[in-house]
Amino acid sequence: MRILLDVMGGDHHPRELVKGGIEVGRLRDIEIAFAGDGRLIESALKEFGERANRSFHIVSCSQVIQMDDPPVRAVRSKSDSSMIKGLQELKSETIDAFVSAGNTGAVVAGSLFTLGRISGIPRPGILAPLPTLEGKDIFLIDAGATADCHGDHLLHFARMGSTYAREVVGIEAPTVGLLNIGGEQGKGNRLMTKTYSLLESADVRFAGNVEAHQLIRHRPVDVVVCDGFVGNVCLKTIEGSVSAVTSLLKRSIRQSAVAKLGALMMRGAFGELRSAMSYQQRGGAPLLGVNGIVVIAHGRSDAETIGSAIDVARREVEANLTEKISLAIPGAEHDGS
Amino acid sequence: MRILLDVMGGDHHPRELVKGGIEVGRLRDIEIAFAGDGRLIESALKEFGERANRSFHIVSCSQVIQMDDPPVRAVRSKSDSSMIKGLQELKSETIDAFVSAGNTGAVVAGSLFTLGRISGIPRPGILAPLPTLEGKDIFLIDAGATADCHGDHLLHFARMGSTYAREVVGIEAPTVGLLNIGGEQGKGNRLMTKTYSLLESADVRFAGNVEAHQLIRHRPVDVVVCDGFVGNVCLKTIEGSVSAVTSLLKRSIRQSAVAKLGALMMRGAFGELRSAMSYQQRGGAPLLGVNGIVVIAHGRSDAETIGSAIDVARREVEANLTEKISLAIPGAEHDGS
């Protein structure tokens, strides 16, 4: 299996991403290809005691899509960027999966232009694994690929999320909830009341509405469905809240010697909190609905995060996820089936 | 000043809400009226050493709007409920403000039916004060009154939120941000790109897009505007995240004697966290845009929360907020001005 990593995206230096790729490549039976500035990649490989060979390829590119580039324009104008070159490798099947910590909008736009949608899928969705108190993740789709949605889009998010939970995570009969602002049917905005009816009669295990405060406390369902705008707000609110609580505690601790000692004694507890809530260990958010395995890693990805994103891609390839999604869409044409 | 408290709403027994009302009534120069089951109210007054008199009135009602009643039907069929009777007292100006911890949807529907909208305001919005690391609250509008919004609705939320921040909170020239999923203009869904243009040329101090993870960490603006669906998801996500982090820490602490001792030494820090993040001290969310001062208290309101909700109502009355909002709407007819 060959997975390509776009090392020019994200807030960290390419060196950090190359490091993550090398670590996974050593651990797993995966060939890692790096797309980006060839000299930077070679020097990082050398630093970590590797060289370009059968296990570590280099796809050298001259352009970079920046984090704040307007996605569609960037995708159109930067054909020699690591992102577009990487997606073209995926399209031509010289690699099995593409992983990027770059500009999310550009990954979505680039995937749509280069790979196209799976037949029968109206819009792509980003599936974000969220931490829960239970320990098991809950899967939110869409976390930001499609900001304006119809009910039919959400129905397909439900199908794709269920397929992912079943085929990649191994949940036998995943339940699906609709992210809403009330528990009963009829609550919410027009999109949600319409989608509720669609999901009720659909080929998914629909468990009704779920509310945002339940998600990470109670894990009421396996997959939670919403439009990409709401999903992205939800995701960023969790990130901001967890980080605000941690900062507040740190600040209070710094103000008292006794509290400092107390915090030291609670180190284990804080470590558990960090690991439970960190995105480092759930660094990969699959972009579902496009014709190929694409995983978006967190913008602040370090080597560990990139490692877990590559691992998500590996599991998707092993599960043959693109075909499984295609088979889960009633009435769509199934290539080669 | 006379403020009426609906004691039949919320998850707590009316006794707890009466207690909150009595405490504020003793502290401030406010006459408190209680609407609800007359016998329950009288017995609670007696328990706390008070009786129905000039300072504490009773509006006795036979019906109760439950937390899970469908709002519009409840408002239409339960005319002898504490909520509807209370709102009618506000309409007839025998009281200056109405406070309820009851069914939020019913408070919104009941206020619209009984009081109507302020001339020129297309839809009401709930303004929710959110905690921030800075210590000062950030004001989010709409937190759930209007689930389906047009740009014009959001423009008026911006105007109402600014008026509240200036007249009630005392922020001289409040800044307004648009809750969006990217910083640059053009990001987000259709509603947000349209609202961005409206706000740019509007009579508010527009500071551009803000993202959800910034809200409580950085307090980028004074007032943040979004539709009621997104705002409600954001509010509940913060609540759920803070509570999940706290639960996780508690669980880890219970598992180790050293951590238990450490937590004891950190009691001050945890206390600061609780007080910074608690809704008890910011219990009141004003419903803006209706013809009268209506404050919605948290459903899990205890005496302290109700006290702070009544205090929000008091400050709105003193600021003459309804008229101030009316004056802030260009082109609207201003009664008596």
| Of A217, A248, A263, Cβ closest to residue B240 | A217
Is a pLDDT exceeding 70 seen at residue B279? no
Residues 4..63 of B with a Cβ closer than 8 Å to A: which? Answer: none
Is a pLDDT exceeding 80 seen at residue A263? no
Which residues does chain A have within 8 Å of residue B183's beta carbon, measured at their own beta carbons? 68
The residue ranges of DSSP E strands in B113-198, in sequence order, are 125-130, 138-141, 175-179
Q: Does the CB of A116 have a partner CB in chain B at under 8 Å?
A: no
- Which letter does DSSP use for residue B118 in this model? P
Nearest chain B residue to A69 by CA distance is B184
User: Could you write out the DSSP letters of every residue in A2-27?
Assistant: EEEEETT-SSS-HHHHHHHHHHHHHH
Closest CA to B269 of A244, A273, A256: A256
pLDDT band at B336 (very low <50, low <70, confident <90, very high): very low
User: Could you write out the DSSP letters of every residue in A169-198?
Assistant: I--SS-EEEEEESSSSTT-S-HHHHHHHHH
Residue A133 to residue B248, Cβ atoms within 8 A = yes
Interatomic CA distance for residues A157 and A4, integer angstroms: 26
pTM assigned to the model: 0.94
Which residues does chain B have within 8 Å of residue A234's beta carbon, measured at their own beta carbons? 212, 233-234, 237
Is a pLDDT exceeding 60 seen at residue B37? yes
Which residues does chain A have within 8 Å of residue B238's beta carbon, measured at their own beta carbons? 237, 241
Residue A262 to residue B258, Cβ atoms within 8 A = no
- Mutation for testing the A interface, residue in B69, B123, B181, B247 having most A CBs under 10 Å: B181
Mean pLDDT rounded to a whole number for chain B: 92
Which residues does chain B have within 8 Å of residue A265's beta carbon, measured at their own beta carbons? 258-259, 261-262, 265
Q: How many CB pairs under 8 A join A and B?
A: 204
Query: B266 CA to chain A: closest CA distance, Å?
Result: 4
Which residues does chain A have within 8 Å of residue B276's beta carbon, measured at their own beta carbons? 248
Q: Does the CB of A246 have a partner CB in chain B at under 8 Å?
A: yes
Question: Which pLDDT tens digit goes with each residue over B70-92?
Answer: 999 999 999 999 999 999 999 99
pLDDT band at B337 (very low <50, low <70, confident <90, very high): very low
- Mutation for testing the B interface, residue in A241, A251, A272, A300 having most B CBs under 10 Å: A241
Mean pLDDT rounded to a whole number for chain A: 92
The predicted pLDDT at position B235 comes to 93
Interatomic CA distance for residues A34 and A56, integer angstroms: 7
Pairing of strands A138-141, A125-130: antiparallel
Q: Residue B3: what residue type?
A: I
| Of A230, A233, A249, Cβ closest to residue B269 | A249
Q: Residue A277: what residue type?
A: M
Query: B50 CA to chain A: closest CA distance, Å?
Result: 38
Question: Which pLDDT tens digit goes with each residue over A120-148?
Answer: 999 999 999 998 888 899 999 999 999 99
Of A247-261, B172-186, B208-222, B306-320, the poorest mean pLDDT is in A247-261
The predicted pLDDT at position A256 comes to 78
The predicted pLDDT at position B230 comes to 98
The predicted pLDDT at position B152 comes to 97
Report which of residues A86 and A254 the model is more confident about. A86
In CATH, A126-279 is 3.40.50.300: no
Residues 259..278 of B with a Cβ closer than 8 Å to A: which? Answer: 259, 261-266, 268-270, 272-273, 276-277
Which residues of chain A are in CATH 3.40.718.10 domains?
Answer: 1-121+289-337, 126-279
The predicted pLDDT at position A337 comes to 37
| Of A189, A241, A273, Cβ closest to residue B147 | A189
Which residues of chain B are in CATH 3.40.718.10 domains?
Answer: 1-121+289-337, 131-278
Query: What residues contact residue B46 under an 8 Å CB cut-off, 6+ apart?
Result: none
Which CATH superfamily hosts domain B131-278?
A: Isopropylmalate Dehydrogenase (3.40.718.10)
Q: Does the CB of B202 have a partner CB in chain A at under 8 Å?
A: no
Nearest chain A residue to B188 by CA distance is A147
pLDDT band at B281 (very low <50, low <70, confident <90, very high): low
Is omega for the bond preceding A137 within 30 degrees of 0, making it cis? no
Residues 96..115 of B with a Cβ closer than 8 Å to A: which? Answer: 105
Is a pLDDT exceeding 80 seen at residue A287? yes
pLDDT band at A275 (very low <50, low <70, confident <90, very high): confident
Which residues does chain A have within 8 Å of residue B70's beta carbon, measured at their own beta carbons? 184, 186
Interatomic CA distance for residues B32 and B51, integer angstroms: 12
Tokens of A207: 């468990």
Fold designation for B1-121+289-337: Isopropylmalate Dehydrogenase (3.40.718)
Q: Residue A18: what residue type?
A: V
Residue A262 to residue B266, Cβ atoms within 8 A = yes
pLDDT band at B289 (very low <50, low <70, confident <90, very high): very high
pLDDT band at A28 (very low <50, low <70, confident <90, very high): confident
Residues 136..195 of B with a Cβ closer than 8 Å to A: which? Answer: 144, 147-148, 179, 181-184, 186, 188-190, 192
Q: Which one of B4-18, B96-110, B271-285 scores highest in mean pLDDT?
A: B96-110
Is a pLDDT exceeding 60 seen at residue B333? no
Residue B248 to residue A276, Cβ atoms within 8 A = yes
Is a pLDDT exceeding 70 seen at residue A336? no
Residue B248 to residue A148, Cβ atoms within 8 A = no
Question: Which pLDDT tens digit goes with each residue over A106-115?
Answer: 999 999 999 9
Residue B181 to residue A229, Cβ atoms within 8 A = yes
Which residues does chain A have within 8 Å of residue B226's beta carbon, measured at their own beta carbons? 233
Do residues A332 and A122 touch, judged by C-beta distance below 8 A? no
Do residues B83 and B9 touch, judged by C-beta distance below 8 A? yes
Tokens of B103: 């069914």
Query: B295 CA to chain A: closest CA distance, Å?
Result: 20
Question: Which pLDDT tens digit goes with each residue over A289-310?
Answer: 999 999 999 878 888 899 999 9
Of A7-21, B126-140, B238-252, the poorest mean pLDDT is in B238-252
Report which of residues B243 and B147 the model is more confident about. B147
The predicted pLDDT at position A129 comes to 94
pLDDT band at A332 (very low <50, low <70, confident <90, very high): low
User: Could you write out the DSSP letters of every residue in B187-248?
Assistant: -S-HHHHHHHHHHHTSSSEEEEEE-HHHHHHH---SEEE--HHHHHHHHHHHHHHHHHHHHH
